Amino acid sequence: LQPGIELVRDAPVSLQAQLVSRLRELILSGGLAPGTRMLASRELSRQLGISRNTVVLSYDRLIAEGYLEAHGPAGTFVTSSLPESSMGIGTSDRQAVAIDRSRPSTRPLSRRFAAPILHERPKERIPFDFRIGRPDARSFPLKRWRRLLDEKLAKAGKALTEYGNPAGLYELRKALVDHLREARGIEADPEQVIVVGGCEEGLNVVARMLCPSDTRVYVETPCYQGVAFVFASYGAAVKPVPIDDEGLCLDGLPDKGVGLVCVTPSHQFPIGVTMSLNRRLRLLDWARRNGAYVVEDDYDSDFRYTGSPLMALAALDREGCVIYLGTFSKSIGAGLRIGYLVVPPELIGPARETKALINLGNPWLEQAVLAEFIASGSFAQHLRRVRKTYLQRRDALISNLRDNFGDVELLGEEGGMHLTWMLPERGPSARVVQNECLSRDVGVYTIDDGPAFDFGKYRRRDQALFLGYPCLNEDEIGVAIRRLAEQVPSPNLA
Ligand SMILES: Cc1ncc(COP(=O)(O)O)c(C=O)c1O
């Protein structure tokens, strides 16, 4: 009997596939040494109780793959020229072969940046979840999206079989600059736009393009995890800079040797303050004087409820020192994985090359659909609709908090999709309130839950409780906050 062959009859894998894989394993492990004569197909089929044809086809397959050789009437043999050293054949009676077990090591992230970056779904759904950073799945423009998908597919021509421009589909880049002019006051040429797989890829493009090891990158504290971790992963020295109620504190920036400063001026992530105009102008002036680039992450600027949005840094920039980062993760959905960079003219070439090196460009179909979605006015209409819904939910959250807890300190409620409730210094910490809430099926978030990161340094870290409101309707918000008030009575918090 050919040793070690056991076939399972009612397995989902065919007998032939099992036999091929078993014989392959035996040959590679040295159980069947090079030059061994295989049993005749008739004999093996008899011993295994399978059809001869199955054995013949299996041998044919292994001959085609180079494991076996047919020597005419002499029979079928294990290929004699297979290298014994790679076939698990013992070396004890031969000269021992030195085996180098070292492999290229993975680029280590320092311990400081080793917190989990993956935004995994929680194992169990929390019934009243104020999770931050997620749009309401029910408001995804499904009908229109499906129609556009059909239309674009019907007219795709070679678009799905050819490579496109790595910077992105021209129609989308054109639609984006038109949208940015209108919505954010940014004057850019479609050439300056690089379509990327969300802000996360945008940050990777910037880091890869501009950050040789040890480049100093200054980030807000607290900041978006992604920004700190991506730059750190490229070997940059990531430095925390405090924020106050006008945004990034410029006194925290040195005068020399800074490569990049990364900010979220519209709605500081995660605290929510808006960078004042004064601070914006001073930051640009600082960048111009010190030869640094400013990365402006405008992740949720589509939602502004009170006052008019301040002009984007990229709109105020006259010197070409702002790299603007936009995303559709908040306005439409993170599953699309579409964002974009608007780079100063001098970086167009390097940014395109970098993007090409990463993946030669984003998928065509989603770009084509999104381009039409924006150019046809559907995006603006969608934004008007969701803005209205989120505004109602935000208002419901604020009034429920005030009704139940009195004069609460809220930050970041003018825009975006979440707000920060600064708990009183002397009351229970954000972590304690979070745990109390969880016991009543209400999810609220602290600075340690991601995707925020503060180097352990944010002065008010124990007080900051984050509540995202797009995914709960007004009734649900009312129930959730009442539960919270029952669990953590107001005297402790007000
Ligand atoms: C500050 C900030 N920037 C960017 C993003 C989103 O990145 P992406 O476009 O890769 O989904 C998030 C998501 O949570 C964020 O909080």
Q: Please list the rounded mean pLDDT of every run of 10 residues in the chain (494 residues).
A: 79 95 92 93 94 97 96 94 68 57 68 54 80 94 98 95 97 98 96 97 96 89 94 92 96 86 97 96 94 96 87 95 98 97 97 97 97 98 97 98 94 96 92 92 90 91 96 97 85 54
- CB of 405 shorter than 6 A to ligand 1: no
Per-residue pLDDT at 115: 53
Per-residue pLDDT at 449: 86
Between CA 166 and CA 173 the distance in angstroms is 12
- CB of 331 shorter than 6 A to ligand 1: no
Per-residue pLDDT at 4: 74
Q: Hey, what's the torsion of the CAs at 404, 409, 411, 415, to 10 degrees?
A: 40
Between CA 353 and CA 343 the distance in angstroms is 13
Between CA 191 and CA 348 the distance in angstroms is 7
Residue 322: strand pairing partners = 294
| Token pair belonging to 133 | 């950073």
> Token match 């969701």: residue?
386
Between CA 459 and CA 99 the distance in angstroms is 53
Query: How confident is the model over 244-290, as pLDDT tens digits?
Result: 999 999 998 988 888 899 999 999 999 999 999 999 999 999 999 99
Per-residue pLDDT at 139: 95
Per-residue pLDDT at 16: 96
Residues with Cβ within 8 Å of residue 71, at least 6 apart in sequence: 77
Between CA 58 and CA 42 the distance in angstroms is 13
Query: Is residue 334 within 8 Å of residue 444, measured between CB atoms?
Result: no
CA 157 to chain CA mean position, Å: 31
Which of 299, 338, 454, 471 has most ligand 1 atoms within 8 Å of its beta carbon, as the pocket-test mutant? 299
Cα of 199 vs centre of ligand 1, distance in Å, is 6
Cα of 453 vs centre of ligand 1, distance in Å, is 13
DSSP state of 330: I
> Could you tell me the pTM of the whole model?
0.87
Q: First CA to last CA across the chain, in angstroms?
A: 82
- CB of 18 shorter than 6 A to ligand 1: no
265-298 in b/e form (b: 16+ CB < 10 A) is bbbbbbbbbbbeeebbeebbebbeeeebbbbbbb
Residue nearest to atom 3 of ligand 1 (CA): 299
Query: Is residue 341 within 8 Å of residue 207, measured between CB atoms?
Result: no
Residue nearest to atom 12 of ligand 1 (CA): 299
- Residue 227 has phi, psi (to 5 degrees) of -65, -45
Residue nearest to atom 7 of ligand 1 (CA): 199
Query: Is residue 260 within 8 Å of residue 295, measured between CB atoms?
Result: yes
Which of 199, 358, 418, 449 has most ligand 1 atoms within 8 Å of its beta carbon, as the pocket-test mutant? 199
- CB of 334 shorter than 6 A to ligand 1: yes
